[in-house]
A and B are shown apart, each in its own frame.
Chain A
Amino acid sequence: MDAPSPLLAGTLDLLILKTLTIGPLHGYAIAQHIHRLSNDALRVEEGSLYPALQRMQVKGWLTSEAKRSPTGRQARYYRITAAGRKQLLSEEKAFRASVSATTLVLEGIKP
């Protein structure tokens, strides 16, 4: 396995929003989920997850509440809001557009 790649700038928000579309999750679960889905290829410095969660809450994309987890531990669950879904759509679109444009350039110039 290659060393995990660092995240592209600005994609952390996108990943968090996308992850939360499956349902309310606590911070650790979000980190695990991103690892798993990317086959451990994306390295999220897990500490940086939390400032992002705070920022997105302030912007109104997420809400959170304290709940007891299935294992009986007290945890804070994050939930995506309607505004968050709208943001997700637009960020997803922008990301895809950017990736495909970048790919076009990369494939257009053969060494």
Chain B
Amino acid sequence: MTPRELFGRLAAWLRRDELDRRLAEEMREHIELLARDLGRDGLPPDEARAAARRQVGNVTRAREESRDAWGFPAIDIVLRDVRYAARGLRRAPGFAMTVILTLALGIGANAAMFGVIDRLMFRPFPYLRDPGAVNRIYLQSTYRGHTNTAVTFPYRRFLDLSRATSTVAAIAAESEWRFGVGQGDATRIRKVAGVSASYFGLFNAAPVSGRFFVAGEDEPPVGAMVAVISHELWASDFGGANVIDDRLKIGTLEYTIIGVAPPGFRGTAEGGRPDVFVPITTIPANFGAWAQSSYLGDYRWDWVSVLVRRKPGVGAAVAGRELTAAYIESRAAARLLNPRVLADSIAHPRAIAGPMKSAAGPDAGLESRVLLWVAGVALLVLAIACANVANLMLVRVLRRRREITVRLALGVSRGRLAAQLVTEALLLALVGCAAGVIVAQWGGVAIRRLLLPEGSDFNLATDWRTLGVAFACAIAATLATAIGPAILALRTDLAAALKSGPREGTYARSRARTTLLIGQGALTVVLLVGVGLFVRSVLSVEAVPLGYDAHPVLEVTLDFRGHTMDSVESVAARRRLLAAARSLPGVSSASRVNSQPFSTNTADLHIQGIDSVEALGRFNFQMISPDYFDVMQTRILRGRPITDADRDGAPLVAVVSEAMARALWAGRDALGQCMHVGIGLHPEAIARRCTTVVGIAENSAQQNLSDDPRFMYYLSAEQFAPADISTMLLRMAGPAAASHVEAVRRALTRAMPGDGFVVVRPLQEIVDDRMRSWRLGATLFVAFGGLALVVAFVGQYGAISYQVAQRMHELGVRAALGARARDVVWLVGWQSVRVGAVAVLVGIALAASAARWVQPLLFRQSATDPLTYSIVAAGMVLAALVASAVPAARAMRADPCTALRAE
């Protein structure tokens, strides 16, 4: 079809009614003229008219043929089929609603999961130019079979990697921090990204005001004190006013605002959006002299992530090879400074130019794996929904068999018939898809809160990628659900079906439908086993004794923002703040600590008589002030806690965990033993210095939740680092610690010297973060497993009901022959239970064979737990029984009289 013809047809289609009228008029005119001419030849008027009509032929056919020229016959046929399908569905609203809802749940589950996974793993960052050519760099080493993947490196390593210039067109550095931004009461913790000047070149983004910083402004040792703020910060905190050249305090430093990023610009930040971008070389200045000298002087501080744009035509693997060479050279340089950098022959170092989102990278972590599993679960839900719908459609075709037979007998082609069935399925799937997007938007809000960083956009109406996936799901569902019925309709034996009487034939078992029922039942069993395992796993996570009670505790981090104090002032300030915290309303006790749970540190530790303490495991320490054990509710099993008497100048003391006492001094009393702790002194001095064990505390989870041996020791903060510690833990009197956060933040920020401020958050959040990936898996599995169960239950119920309806006649005959109600119920129930039982067997076999991949995602929970499997099996059989209850009750009412009368 030429473009001109296409246009002509379209134009004609738009005016087709007018054209049709005009054509009818023209042909009438033609007949009249012809009749007139025939009349002149001598025919009487009515004969002339009749002859003219004959000569012109069938006017209606001519009009219909013309109609084919005005428009697109194929589309007309499709539209006719759609109208036909819609009419048919309007007559069967129960069927249509069931199918649409079932598909909506299946498609919605997939759209929501895709929306989340796409955002976390695959969707390119906004404004990123040619995302396919940009990579995040991952550095890996494999030592003793264990692969370590790093996404942040020392700044010097970034400089070393910059030498890989033959495959890399541009290289940029980025580092994310949370700093106090602003001054006084307006100070808020915000995400600050330190980036190289080359960073902005990765994007197609222009500042809405001012400029981005340029090469030369990010030169070491300290870059220019300039800042670009996000469009969102500009709108919320500055009201969109002109801010260029304004001063802005970020962390401990004063910056000048030089630009405003475009709306939605988030750089390459995973998680929350950075509000401020500053030259990366100004970041170390925030952390004082140590950071300032270390970041250029050695390779010890991992804090920079590196992004590259490959040259055109260069693959990621090729760039990875050149970067690996640069990495190996960089390691050689590091080895000159620190001989403990492992030899390359042992460490097998390599650089990977990998995905921009580290959640899709080589070390994606537990959460990504859980998410991919859950996405698989969503697909299963869709499969179950499709099996269910296919079954309903089969039933519908069986019910309409007479109608179909008659139409076939009247000459409808089987192809057209199949096309109409597919159209009906497509219509249902598309409506289901639309409803599914609504479901996804709705349910997605909950999932988003669970998974995505705060402030992520999750508007599916404008999210073409997710809409596309929902549409693809709908098409797949159409194919999956329409093919069976279409084949059935095509195979209908015309003669036999026409012959069969008004009773629509007798009940016939359908192998296809039974297979579908068993299939969806088996998949449901797999999901329910997953639900059981994940729920039991999360229960065991929550049952892990932590050795402390985090619920009523607030964590307060002090940020002095570079307010310079000598050590005496510094000690005094910290003591004053602890006293201030103690006197706050609602605070029952307070302690200083040097680290949070799960972020505790190690130090060199030597014990007389033990060659290598490190070989026994990881020993972490926590520096505390006297009330610590009270604040955390960690019990002292023997000896004493650390007290006010353990101050500077007094003999050094330590409290050790029970596990540590047993590991180091097995069979002996740990109390009174001497430890050499490598903190703050030269090695020779440490060997002479004894820290005496004065107490044994219960084990507590300070490294991680899982099976580590919990080797912990507690030192007196006043003895080891009186001036440095900047974290406090406050125990609140009531259980609702979170409600005090704002009051505590205000009161203690006012007590801080200079521009200092405090950050307060419930300690439970830190504990919850640790449990997150397990909770996540359990929550999503429960949600989708529940969904699957509902869908499968409805399917089973529908199938059994239909069978009973089909068998009413037969059951009536049975009743007439003396079958009792009990026998009839048994007949129906047994059939349902039998299908359920086979589904259970198949499902359990499937689940057991998937067990070894699920195992790593579970916490102290066997993936082949017999109890879980048994409960699911019993539950499924029970569900099958319940699904047959209503149909069985209906079967009981089968009337022998009706049956016999029909005979």
> A residues touching B (Cβ–Cβ < 8 Å)?
26-28, 31, 45-48, 50-51, 54-55, 57-60, 73-76, 83
Contact = CB atoms under 8 A, between A and B. Distances in A.
Given A46-B57, A59-B2, 10 more contacts: A47-B56, A48-B57, A54-B12, A54-B19, A54-B69, A58-B69, A58-B70, A75-B26, A75-B29, A83-B4
B5 A46 contact: no
Contacts, number: 69
B23 A73 contact: no
Nearest to A76: B26
Given A46-B56, A51-B66, A51-B69, A58 B29 contact: no
A59 B58 contact: no
A74 B25 CA distance: 10
B66 A54 contact: yes
A42 to B, nearest CB: 13
B5 A58 contact: yes
A47 B27 contact: yes
Contact of B66 (A50, A60, A73): A50
B23 A60 contact: no
Contacts of B19: 54
A51 B62 contact: yes
Nearest to A73: B29
B643 interface: no
A75 B30 CA distance: 9
B65 A51 contact: yes
A46 B30 CA distance: 9
A51 B12 CA distance: 13
Nearest to B11: A58
User: Interface residues of B toward A: which range?
Assistant: 20 to 34
Contacts of A26: 26
B8 A60 contact: yes
B80 to A, nearest CB: 20
Nearest to B65: A51
A55 B29 contact: no
Given A47-B58, A54-B70, A59 B22 contact: no
B5 A48 contact: no
B4 A46 contact: no
Interface of B: 2, 4-5, 8-9, 12, 19, 22-23, 26-27, 29-30, 33-34, 55-59, 61-62, 65-66, 68-70
Contact of B29 (A28, A45, A47, A59): A28
> 8 closest A-B pairs (Cβ-Cβ)?
A47-B57, A51-B65, A58-B8, A54-B66, A55-B69, A47-B62, A54-B69, A28-B33
Contacts of A45: 55-57
Given A57-B8, A73-B29, A48 B62 contact: yes
B228 to A, nearest CB: 58
7 contacts: A27-B26, A47-B57, A48-B57, A57-B8, A58-B69, A59-B2, A75-B29
A57 B15 CA distance: 14
B274 to A, nearest CB: 59
A59 B12 CA distance: 11
Contacts of B27: 27, 47, 50
A60 B29 contact: no
A28 B30 contact: yes
Nearest to A46: B56
B9 to A, nearest CB: 5
Contacts of A51: 62, 65-66, 68-69
A59 B8 contact: yes
A76 B26 CA distance: 7
Contacts of A47: 27, 56-59, 61-62
Nearest to A45: B57
B34 to A, nearest CB: 7
Nearest to B58: A47
Contacts of B34: 28, 46
B55 A60 contact: no
Contacts of B58: 47
Contacts of A76: 22, 26
A59 B4 contact: yes
Among A27, A54, A75, chain B packs the most CB atoms within 10 A around the CB of A54
A15 to B, nearest CB: 17
A31 B56 CA distance: 10
Contacts of A58: 5, 8-9, 12, 69-70
Given A48-B57, A54-B69, A60 B4 contact: yes
Nearest to B61: A47
Nearest to A71: B33
Contacts of B65: 48, 51
Contacts of B29: 28, 73-75
Nearest to A66: B22
Contacts of B23: 50, 54
Contacts of B26: 26-27, 50, 75-76
B248 to A, nearest CB: 67
Among B12, B19, B55, chain A packs the most CB atoms within 10 A around the CB of B55
Contacts of A74: 29
A26 B30 CA distance: 9
A31 B4 contact: no
A72 B546 CA distance: 104
A76 B770 CA distance: 83
A57 B61 CA distance: 18
B33 A50 contact: no
Contact of B5 (A28, A54, A59): A59
Contacts of A27: 26-27, 30
A90 to B, nearest CB: 14
A9 B26 CA distance: 24
A58 B33 CA distance: 26
B331 to A, nearest CB: 73
A31 B30 contact: yes
Contacts of A54: 12, 19, 23, 66, 69-70
Nearest to B24: A50
Contacts of A59: 2, 4-5, 8
A2 to B, nearest CB: 18
A34 to B, nearest CB: 13
A69 B362 CA distance: 83
A60 B70 contact: no
A32 to B, nearest CB: 8
B681 to A, nearest CB: 96
Contacts of B56: 45-47
B883 to A, nearest CB: 57
A58 B12 CA distance: 7
Among A26, A46, A74, chain B packs the most CB atoms within 10 A around the CB of A46
B710 to A, nearest CB: 84
Contacts of A73: 29
Nearest to A59: B5
Given A28-B29, A31-B30, A50 B9 contact: no
Contacts of A28: 29-30, 33-34
A58 B65 CA distance: 13
Contacts of A55: 66, 69
Nearest to B12: A58
Nearest to B10: A58
Among B33, B61, B68, chain A packs the most CB atoms within 10 A around the CB of B33
Contacts of B2: 59
A73 B34 CA distance: 14
B3 to A, nearest CB: 10
A28 B12 CA distance: 22
A26 B33 CA distance: 11
A47 B66 CA distance: 11
A82 B386 CA distance: 56
B270 to A, nearest CB: 56
A30 B65 CA distance: 19
A26 B27 CA distance: 11
A60 B59 CA distance: 24
A50 B4 CA distance: 21
A68 B27 CA distance: 16
Contacts of B33: 28
B739 to A, nearest CB: 75
A8 to B, nearest CB: 18
